[in-house]
Structure 1
Amino acid sequence: MTTIETAADKLATLYGAEFGGKVSGRYRIPQKLLRELTGRRRLYEADIEALRRALLERGYVLIDMDSFCVVMSANAFVNYRRVGKDALADD
């Protein structure tokens, strides 16, 4: 298993873990800890994309916010309202 795969497993496990005053759920992680978790001195866009894909395979979404990343369940997005063609039409 690659370091990215191992990191994705750890991040997915953290979603169900109790910390920060919450039983489980979404969380944010600083870039510094992501670098430590992946064993890299720098995280390039390709690294973030690989981690994003690995987490998506596990049912989670990774959102890069520059100085930190957010991990959320992909199911959180299911009930969002959809944009239809009518909403994009010019008045």
Structure 2
Amino acid sequence: MAIDTMMENTANRLAALYGEAFGGKASGRYRIAVKLVRAMAGRKRLYENDVVALTRAMLERGFVLIDMDSFFVVMSANTFTNYRRANDDVAD
């Protein structure tokens, strides 16, 4: 199975988890251990290109994947639409 196909399948599973109840919440953002993502992907290791492919696949599904080294965070991309914006005035 090609790397992209494996990451596409993994992205589908991660996206589906967003809507499932666990951890005391009905749905929403979550963190997942790298070990579990490797198992989902059927890989012994996740290389940088794997994480990039998975990140892109998650974005295509409307989710943001944040690599925190020992775990990943999955959030809806819509979460960020209401954040305040920094403009040129604050960049000085």
TM-based fold match above 0.5: yes
Instruction: Give the gaps of 5 or more residues in structure 1.
Output: none
Which of 5, 9, 12 is the equivalent residue of 2:8?
Answer: 5
Structure 1 Cα separation of the partners of residues 18 and 77 of structure 2: 12
1:47 has 2:50 as partner:
yes
Q: Which amino acid aligns with 2:77?
A: A
TM-score normalised according to structure 2 size = 0.94
Q: Which residue matches 1:72?
A: 75
1:32 has 2:35 as partner:
yes
TM-score normalised according to structure 1 size = 0.95
1:17 has 2:14 as partner:
no
Return the index of the structure with the highest Cα Rg: 1
Structure with greater helix percent: 2
Q: Which amino acid aligns with 1:66?
A: D
Q: Which amino acid aligns with 1:2?
A: T
Q: Which amino acid aligns with 2:64?
A: V
Structure 2 Cα separation of the partners of residues 70 and 49 of structure 1: 14
Moved over 4 A (4+): none
When the two chains are superposed, the root-mean-square deviation of aligned CA atoms in Å is 1.0
Secondary structure of the corresponding residue to residue 17 of structure 1: coil
Secondary structure of the corresponding residue to residue 21 of structure 1: coil
Secondary structure of the corresponding residue to residue 69 of structure 1: strand
1:3 CA drift (Å): 1.2
Structure 2 Cα separation of the partners of residues 86 and 56 of structure 1: 30
Secondary structure of the corresponding residue to residue 75 of structure 1: helix
